[in-house]
Structure 1
Amino acid sequence: MLTGLSIRNVVLIEALDLAFSGGLGVLTGETGAGKSILLDSLGLILGDRADSGLVRAGEDQASVTATFEFASLPGPLRGALADADIDVEPGEPLIIRRRLRADGGSKAFVNDQPVGVALLREMARSLVELHGQHDDRGLVNARGHRTLLDRYARTDVAAVADAWDKWRRAEDALAAARAQIEQAAAEQDLLLAHLAELTALEPVPGEEEELAGQRATMQKGERLSGDLATLQHLWTGSDSALASLRGAARRLDRIAHELPLLAEALEALDRAVIEAGEAEDKLAQAAEALAHDPALLDRIETRLFDLRAAARKHHCTVDELPEKMAAMRAALDAIEGGEAQMAGLARAAQEAGLDYRAKAELLSVARAEAARRLDAAVAAELAPLKLDAAKFRTAVVRLPDDRWGAQGVDAVEFLISTNPGADFAPLAKIASGGELSRFILALKVALAEEGGAATVIFDEIDRGVGGAVASAIGERLARLAHGGQLLAVTHSPQVAARGNAHYLIAKSSEGTVTRTSVTLLDSAGRQEEIARMLSGAEITAEARAQADRLLEQA
């Protein structure tokens, strides 16, 4: 709930610090004292548009700070803060600050972290529910009526939402399988042709690299064949260098024993013969490795061309061609086995749809029954609020199939008829400002709403009524405020007397400077203010006595 509100330099408010508690808090004061300034200031906290006209004359900027405290954060509020990466520890207050410059710029902060105004608007739904003379939110907005009825009926909407989600997933799986099979069937002839080509080609992973290596080696052999032939001629035959070395070694061997130097020469010559022999072997091996076979080279180049052409055709690498073949076979298998798969998915989707319809029908029945009970409960509240000629109806309407969803198959809207014989129509289109506020109060009382905003504000709900009607309004506001927090801006002494806390809004002038102040009244102050509300400018003893009676009755 709202526990503190600090305002600086907003219109007529120079500096104001207010503390709020639970229960019913009433705000009173003469017309024009500045009650709207308080609501405008709170509106800044709730994400309303920044209006530079709110900045007090002569000041550079204005600021509003609101403090909210919760036993535990409401789920939607906790989710919004989590999405914004703002951590609020259990028991820690939520402090929202909005700063407005005279040039129209503004900044917002949540627990000292800068945030966008969109987050304030999202948080507002869990923080403050404002019902005023021209309110188009809260209970007036038909988009929330279904949720309000479900809370009243305590329906199991979550089960319907879960069934809807399962049905959607089953239908999506069926549609995806159908689309895949239809696409594959449309391409079946092409798939068969492509698969036949690749099957005839029989690509093997790593084949391209191996063939390219063989081709490169053979191309080298073709280029080096002349040099190799010359070298082999030098190394072979009876007149080759190697034959001459061997002949010299035989001659030297016959005379090497005659002189040590000759023996050493023979050893060196033997080594040369061995090295030359090894060179001859290497040359032979190289010639064999680089053997140039034009027919084989042509086959290799043709194979490489075919493999690479197929890879370009299928937009992949040569090594990925076997995977392409496997994918084509899988697609063809899917066509052949598709009917069985489709039948299974269709059964699953049908069963999920029947389950959703069954749960949605139960939800519709529960809503219809709750609507009748709510209509009776609201009707019981209308006469005491001087709306005895009006009628209230909760319309539960079946939606067309294409608008079914996680919330079921119904649209829900609260309708009223303000005069006998008049047609029913939405709240905002028929009710006047005062009637609308009283209808909303009747609804709030009948709904005994749970899970709404932490703080509810009624702005001049008692406008245009008095006496017994005002007393009925005060009694219902007090009932609504029990266990929560409700603030009411009022001109009615009967409503003011019901407050747990009473704030007086007053305007004062010093020369050309005008200020608005807000004071929390004690018991004597409350008696005096309620007496003023009863008697006007001159407070009489009779007015004070009547004020005491109202306070005692409350």
Structure 2
Amino acid sequence: MLTSLAIRNIVLIEALDLAFAPGLGVLTGETGAGKSILLDALGLVLGNRAETALVRAGEDQASVTATFEFHALPPPIREALAEAEMEVEAGEPLIIRRRLRADGGSKAFINDQSASAALLRQIAPALVELHGQHDDRGLVNPRGHRALLDRYAGADVAAVEATWTRWRAARSKLESARAEIDQARAEQDLLLAHLAELTAIEPQEGEEEMLALARADMQKGEKLSGDLEQLRLLWDGSDSALASLRAAARRLDRIAEEHPLLGEALSALDRAVIEAGEAEAKLEQAAEALQHDPAELDRIESRLFELRALARKHDCAVDELPARMRTLRASLDAIEAGDAEIGALQRAEEEAGTAYREAAHALRARRVEAAGRLDEAVAGELAPLKLDAARFQTAVTELPEERWGPAGMDAVEFLISTNPGADFAPLAKIASGGELSRFILALKVALAEQGGAATVIFDEIDRGVGGAVASAIGERLARLAGGGQLLAVTHSPQVAARGTQHYMIAKSSEGTVTRTSVVLLDAAGRQEEIARMLSGAEITSEARAQADRLLEGV
């Protein structure tokens, strides 16, 4: 709930600090005293547009700070702050500050963390619910009527939402499968042609690299064939250098014992023969590896050309062609198995749809029953509020299937008829300002709706009424405020007498300077203010006595 409001340099308010408590707080004062300024100031911390005209004349900037305290932060606020990556400790008050400059621009802060006006507007509905002469939100907005009726009915909308989610998932899966199979069928001839083409070539993983290496070796052999032939001639035959070395080694072997140096020479010659032999073997291996076979080279190049052409055609690497073959086979297999799969998915979708319809119809029945009870409850509140000629109706309309959703198959709207025989129409289109506020009050009393904002404000709900009607309004406001917080801007002494806190708004002038002030009244001050509201400018003893009777009566 709202626990404090600090205002600096807003229009006629120079500096004002207010503290608020639970229960019914009433704000009174003469017409033009500045009650709307308070609401404008509060609107700033709720994200309303920062008008430079709100800055007090002669000042550079203005500010408003509101403090809200909760037993536990409401989920909509907690979720919005988490999404904005703002941290608020459990049990910590929520302090919202809005600052605006006379030359334009504004800044907002939540617990000293910079915040956008959009974030303030996002959390505002959970902070303050304002009903005034031009109310176009809250209970007037049809978008919230279904949720209000469901809360009144104690409906388990989450269960319907779960069946809706399962149905949509089953339908999405079915539609995806159908689309895939339809596309595959449309391309079946092309798939068969591609698969036949790949199967004829039968590409293998790693084949491109292997063929490329073999081709490179054969191309080197072609280039080195002359040199290799000349080397072969040097090593082959009885007149070759290697043959001469071996002959020399045999002759030296016969005389090596004659002198140590001859033995050493033989050892060196043997090593040379061994090394030359190894060289000969390497040359033979190289010649074999680099053997140039024109026919084989042509086959390898043709194979590489075919593989790479297919890879370009399928927009993939050559090594990915085997996987592409498997994909094509799987697509063709899926076409053959598609009917069975579609049948299973269709049955699952139908079962999920049936479950949703059953849950939604049950929810609709609960809504229709609760709508009747709500209509009776509101009707019982209308006469005491001088709306005895009016009728209230909760319209529960079944939507076409394309508009069904997680909240069921119904649209819900609160309708009224203000005159006998007149058609029912939306609240905002028929009721005048005062009537609208009283309709909202009747509806809130009937709903006993405590799941809305932490603080509810009624702005001049008693305009144009008095006597018993004003007393009925005051009694209902007090009832609504029980266990919560409700603030009422009022001109009615009957409503003011019901307040647990009474604030008097006054305007004063000193020369050319005009100021608005707000004072929390004590018991004597309350008696005097209610007497003024009863009698006007001149407060009589009779008015004071009547004020005492009003205060004692509550």
Say whether the fold is shared (TM-score over 0.5). Answer: yes
Residue 370 of structure 1 aligns with which residue? Answer: 370
Instruction: Show CA shifts across 1:302-335 (max 9, x none).
Output: 1111111111111111111111111111111111
Instruction: Show CA shifts across 1:454-489 (max 9, x none).
Output: 100000000111111100000000000001100000
Specify the code of the residue in structure 2 equivalent to 1:199.
T
| CA apart distance, 1:232 | 1.1
TM norm structure 2: 0.98
| CA apart distance, 1:294 | 1.1
Summarize the alignment of residues 201-240 of structure 1 with structure 2, pairs less than 5 Å apart.
201-240=201-240
Residue 495 of structure 2 aligns with which residue? Answer: 495
| 2:396 counterpart SS class | strand
2 CA distance for matches of 1:96 and 1:445? 30
Moved more, 255-264 or 60-69: 255-264
Residue 354 of structure 1 aligns with which residue? Answer: 354
1 CA distance for matches of 2:465 and 2:181? 71
Residue 9 of structure 2 aligns with which residue? Answer: 9
Residue 45 of structure 2 aligns with which residue? Answer: 45
Residue 295 of structure 1 aligns with which residue? Answer: 295
| CA apart distance, 1:86 | 1.6
| CA apart distance, 1:260 | 3.1
What is the aligned-residue RMSD (CA, Å)? 1.1
2 CA distance for matches of 1:405 and 1:32? 48
| CA apart distance, 1:49 | 0.8
1 CA distance for matches of 2:391 and 2:261? 139
CA contact (8 A) 1:151 1:450 kept: no
2 CA distance for matches of 1:536 and 1:261? 147
2 CA distance for matches of 1:266 and 1:139? 118
Instruction: Show CA shifts across 1:44-95 (max 9, x none).
Output: 1111111000011111111111111111122212111111112222211011
| CA apart distance, 1:532 | 0.8
Aligned residues: 554
Instruction: Show CA shifts across 1:376-397 (max 9, x none).
Output: 1111111111111111111111
Summarize the alignment of residues 430-469 of structure 1 with structure 2, pairs less than 5 Å apart.
430-469=430-469
Summarize the alignment of residues 515-526 of structure 1 with structure 2, pairs less than 5 Å apart.
515-526=515-526
Moved more, 514-523 or 455-464: 514-523
1 CA distance for matches of 2:487 and 2:97? 20
Specify the code of the residue in structure 2 equivalent to 1:397.
T
Residue 243 of structure 1 aligns with which residue? Answer: 243
Specify the code of the residue in structure 1 equivalent to 2:238.
S
2 CA distance for matches of 1:406 and 1:176? 21
Specify the code of the residue in structure 2 equivalent to 1:196.
A
Residue 310 of structure 2 aligns with which residue? Answer: 310
Residue 282 of structure 2 aligns with which residue? Answer: 282
1 CA distance for matches of 2:250 and 2:375? 131
| 2:292 counterpart SS class | coil
TM norm structure 1: 0.98
| CA apart distance, 1:491 | 0.6
| 2:63 counterpart SS class | strand
Residue 547 of structure 1 aligns with which residue? Answer: 547
Matched, 1:101 2:97: no
| CA apart distance, 1:446 | 0.7
Specify the code of the residue in structure 1 equivalent to 2:202.
E
1 CA distance for matches of 2:201 and 2:110? 68
| CA apart distance, 1:253 | 2.9
Summarize the alignment of residues 70-149 of structure 1 with structure 2, pairs less than 5 Å apart.
70-149=70-149
2 CA distance for matches of 1:322 and 1:17? 79
1 CA distance for matches of 2:8 and 2:87? 27
Matched, 1:479 2:472: no
Residue 387 of structure 1 aligns with which residue? Answer: 387
1 CA distance for matches of 2:86 and 2:259? 104
CA contact (8 A) 1:26 1:499 kept: yes
| CA apart distance, 1:117 | 1.1
Instruction: Show CA shifts across 1:118-159 (max 9, x none).
Output: 111110110100000011101111111111111111111111
1 CA distance for matches of 2:203 and 2:51? 73
| CA apart distance, 1:266 | 2.4
Matched, 1:28 2:28: yes
Residue 159 of structure 1 aligns with which residue? Answer: 159
2 CA distance for matches of 1:121 and 1:471? 34
CA contact (8 A) 1:188 1:332 kept: yes
Specify the code of the residue in structure 1 equivalent to 2:187.
E
| CA apart distance, 1:247 | 2.2
Residue 260 of structure 2 aligns with which residue? Answer: 260
1 CA distance for matches of 2:420 and 2:243? 134
- In structure 1, the gaps of 5 or more residues are none
Among the aligned pairs, what percent are the same residue? 78
2 CA distance for matches of 1:181 and 1:296? 44
Moved more, 498-507 or 242-251: 242-251
Moved more, 462-471 or 197-206: 197-206
- In structure 2, the gaps of 5 or more residues are none
1 CA distance for matches of 2:177 and 2:143? 36
Instruction: Show CA shifts across 1:491-528 (max 9, x none).
Output: 10000000010011111112221111111111111111
Moved more, 211-220 or 478-487: 211-220
